[in-house]
Amino acid sequence: MDEREKQNVPEEEESNAARRIRALGQDQEDQEEEEELEIDWWGNFWYHHKWKVLMTAVFGIIIGVAVVQFAGQQNPDVRVLYGGPLYITPNENQMFCDAVETLCPDFNDDGKTYVQLNDMVFMTENQLNEMIARAEENDEDIAYDRLSNAQVQERFTYEIFGGEAAICILAEEQYTDVCVSGGFLPLAELFGEDNIPEGAVDEYGVRLAETKFWKFYGTKEMFPADAVIALRRVSTMSALTGKSKAEKLHANSAEVFRKIMEYEYPEGYVEPTEETAEPAEPAETENP
């Protein structure tokens, strides 16, 4: 008698069972091979492309931070441009903006008033030559980066004729260069021929140090002594960036510029003069 018959197992059933065992065993082997291949593929990919993956991740983080910072930036109601040889500290910048904000309405209706001062520190060729001459006269060594100065000056030219800042506070050399190019609006167009502000240096600008606004709020050390404040014409780039928007921003700046020029001291304030100013502390002398 056949062994299968002894065990009473049908040949067809046994064959199916054997097939299932073989099939299951083969599937397990295939699965193990696929897992090994997957591990080998990932290891091979990481070995060859890990720097690309890391750089992509870092770049993504940088973009994310930039987006968050951009979203948190405030939208200025008015922008002011400074150009000259003196460096302005962050505290001085903030002090100036706080002072102008007392005169500035909330033009963009965001519930707060924000003035931005864009400072561009650079020298004209005359200013640079004067600095070198003073250094030689005093037997001093100076280091000056002409390339950096030229780059800032180029950005300044763009801001004057294409930027959004219309109120300009410039050292006299920088102011004169812009005047020659016809960059400023005449004071008569803003105040009339008979109401030119006190301290006007010509038909376009006013000496900042002679305005009541700066006498009350300012410090002599912040801007150059010969600094002139003037209102730039509507940007020549407005045809490309949007004429109506540019005209609106310029009108806002013109309103604040007028308020600076027409500023009056608070009631009871007495303008300091050389006679009323507090005397300087006497220099200490060595005892003989």
**pLDDT tens column, 211-244:** 999 999 987 779 999 999 999 998 766 555 667 8
Are 52 and 172 found together in one domain? no
Query: How many structural domains compose the chain?
Result: 2
In a domain, 203, yes or no: yes
In a domain, 269, yes or no: no
Task: Place 256 in a pLDDT band, splitting at 50, 70 and 90.
Answer: very high
In a domain, 221, yes or no: yes
Are 27 and 138 found together in one domain? no
Are 22 and 135 found together in one domain? no
The range of the structural domain enclosing residue 54 comes to 18-71
What's the pLDDT score for residue 181?
86
With beta carbons less than 8 A apart as the criterion, state whether 99 and 217 touch.
Answer: yes
pLDDT in tens, 76-112: 999 999 999 999 999 999 999 999 999 999 999 898 9
Q: What is the mean pLDDT of residues 3-32?
A: 51
Are 182 and 62 found together in one domain? no
Q: Which amino acid is at 95?
A: M
What's the pLDDT score for residue 67?
44
Are 39 and 154 found together in one domain? no
In a domain, 13, yes or no: no
Q: Dihedral through CA 270, CA 275, CA 276, CA 280, nearest 10? A: 140
Q: What is the DSSP string of 250-268?
A: HHHHHHHHHHHHT--PPTT
pLDDT in tens, 127-151: 888 888 888 888 888 778 889 999 9
Chosen domain end from 71, 93, 113: 71
Can you list the alpha helix ranges (DSSP code H) found in the chain?
A: 3-7, 11-72, 90-101, 125-137, 146-162, 172-180, 187-191, 212-217, 238-241, 243-261
What's the pLDDT score for residue 279?
39
Q: What is the mean pLDDT of residues 23-30?
A: 52
Are 161 and 199 found together in one domain? yes
pLDDT in tens, 52-83: 666 676 666 555 544 433 444 568 999 999 99
Chosen domain end from 53, 71, 89: 71
Distance CA 222, CA 242 (A): 34
Residue 35: both structure tokens together = 């897992």
Are 172 and 215 found together in one domain? yes
Which is higher by pLDDT, 217 or 20?
217
Cα 108 off chain centre by: 19
pLDDT in tens, 155-182: 999 898 888 899 999 999 999 999 998 8
CA distances from 276 to 175, 212, 272, 280 (A): 32, 16, 6, 12
In a domain, 285, yes or no: no
Distance CA 284, CA 54 (A): 63
Task: Please state the pTM of the whole predicted model.
Answer: 0.69
What's the pLDDT score for residue 269?
85
In a domain, 12, yes or no: no
Are 120 and 23 found together in one domain? no
In a domain, 163, yes or no: yes
CA distances from 275 to 26, 58, 141, 199, 278 (A): 106, 63, 39, 21, 8
Which is higher by pLDDT, 24 or 84?
84
Percent share of the chain, pLDDT over 70: 67
Task: Place 118 in a pLDDT band, splitting at 50, 70 and 90.
Answer: very high
Chosen domain end from 37, 56, 71: 71
Which is higher by pLDDT, 5 or 88?
88
In a domain, 137, yes or no: yes
Are 90 and 116 found together in one domain? yes
Sign of CA dihedral 209, 210, 214, 219: positive
Are 180 and 195 found together in one domain? yes
Are 81 and 64 found together in one domain? no
What's the pLDDT score for residue 72?
44
What's the pLDDT score for residue 271?
80
Are 64 and 96 found together in one domain? no
What's the pLDDT score for residue 219?
76
State the number of CA atoms in the 13 A half-sphere of 53 facing the CB: 7
Q: Which CATH number fits the domain that encloses residue 189?
A: 3.40.190
